[in-house]
Amino acid sequence: MERRIDVRDQVSQLIEQIDARQDELVALVKQLVRFPTPSPPARNTGEAQEFFAGQLRDLGFDIDQWEVFPNDPNVVGTLKGKQSSDYRSLIVNGHMDVAEAEPNEEGWEKDPFTPSVKDGRLYGRGTADMKGGLAGALFAIKLLRESGVELPGDLIFQSVIGEEVGEAGTLECCEKGYTADAAVVVDTSELNIQGQGGVITGWVTVKSPKTYHDAVRRNMVHAGGGLHAASAIEKMVKIIQGLKELEQHWAVTKSYPGFPAGMNTINPAVIEGGRHAAFVADECRLWITVHFYPDENHEDIAKEVENHLLNVAQGDPWLRDHPPVFEWGGKSMIEDKGEIFPSLDIDPDGKEVHSLKRAHSSIFKENPTVSMSPTVTDGGWLGDAGIPTLIYGPGDLQNAHHTNESVSVQELIEFTKVMVTFIHEWCHTKREDERYDL
């Protein structure tokens, strides 16, 4: 019993320090924002990641740093616990890249990478998505280390690249074998505990085996013309209509708790086709984005879209003989114009959910909302690797990616308090324990 009182006092003292040292927290967020890491164009996080690696190294972490793309390295810091084999381990994950920002075109009041505080809000690109979350989690760990807390369980901090353009730095961490008993992605969630649906992009291509001069179009479209040919652009119209019908069918037949009806959308985002005005279009390519629910996976969804469109093609005399072809996913919206974000289901009765809820309620005196994010994060890759994962971070989606992006300073402070509490409890809990009551 005495040990638990000591733990409670220890955490309380750390929380008091966050209030007293909030200027340091804000300064750390500002420091991260000053590194211009927009993606696209990407290939610009090297300096920021070197800074982050240095911060972790100073806190006693062993550093693994490697380039995913040139000048875009991942940083993984590992702090081995004193009793790793018995106590729970935790991954804290966040991305260093931010949404693109063009100050001369978007109406920014100040340079996006010159942070400032006004009326209790911290402004700058990445404050909400998601350098605020990175800084808050790092500051929480800094306080734990400075106070002499020795965590029994392992703590792994991943600062990754490529989240904004589907380059999946987190996937590389999973492929290198980093795992834990739980993970928290400190991305934008308004301090709700969240899972997410998934996203996959794909290219649908309609292609004619022959190319025709536009003068023979008459022979394609009039009775007796004698030419079994078609414009790929016009045939793509049928494909688009087929996608719309499938989207509407999904809206009626599929649902998932925590999502409004119809969140599983199919967006015809980009279309490319034709040579120039003297030719009948012999090829048309459509870039689509498909959103799906947490109880679905990207491979099954891709196959469902393919099967539907192939059935659409069967109803058209020309498409029947020249069906659409498909390319799905990709490792980069920049490099190969494709991405995958796996869905992330969460167990409301999971130990990680209960632990984070206790940490949150100890600060806010009320339970957090457990919900589903309307967007996607790297959390799906961690969940796909078999790691129980939660999304929990400061900031809101109304500010993420927006002009004059900002985050509440008070929310940053409260988030940091929750992270101190959660990390302390989780890594002090034996794997077989149901809970560790602070």
Place of tokens 């494709």: 338
From the candidates 72, 154, 163, 164, which is the catalytic residue?
Answer: 163
Q: Residue 278 carries which DSSP code?
A: T
The sign of the torsion formed by the CA atoms of 33, 35, 37, 38 equals positive
Whether cis (ω within 30° of 0) applies to the bond prior to 41 is yes
Place of tokens 């301090």: 191
Q: Letter for the amino acid at 355? A: S
Q: Count Cβ atoms within 10 A of the Cβ of residue 438 and give its class: 0-12 exposed, 13-18 middle, 19 or more buried.
A: middle
Query: How are beta strands 406-408 and 212-213 bridged, if at all?
Result: unpaired
Q: Distance between CA atoms of 382 and 345, rounded to whole angstroms? A: 11
- Please say if 300 is a catalytic residue: no
Q: Roughly what angle, to the nearest 10 degrees, separates helices 46-58 and 22-33?
A: 150
Q: Distance between CA atoms of 125 and 112, rounded to whole angstroms? A: 5
Q: Distance between CA atoms of 190 and 128, rounded to whole angstroms? A: 9
From the candidates 97, 172, 187, 384, which is the catalytic residue?
Answer: 97
Q: Distance between CA atoms of 353 and 358, rounded to whole angstroms? A: 9
Helices within 216-291 (DSSP H only) = 217-221, 232-253
- Number of other residues whose CB lies within 10 A of the CB of residue 13: 11
Q: Distance between CA atoms of 69 and 359, rounded to whole angstroms? A: 37
Q: Residue 369 carries which DSSP code?
A: P
Is the distance from CB of 434 to CB of 351 less than 8 angstroms?
Answer: yes
Task: Please report, for residues 23, 90, 158, 212, the alpha-carbon distance to residue 407 in angstroms, rounded to integers and kept in the order given.
Answer: 15, 26, 22, 56
Among 59, 31, 27, which Cα is nearest to 157's? 59
**Continuous segment of H or E residues that includes residue 194:** strand 193-196
- Please say if 349 is a catalytic residue: no
Is the distance from CB of 277 to CB of 316 less than 8 angstroms?
Answer: no
Q: Distance between CA atoms of 164 and 415, rounded to whole angstroms? A: 22
Strands in 255-358 per DSSP E: 266-273, 279-280, 283-292, 325-328, 340-341
Query: Which residues are catalytic, by number?
Result: 97, 163
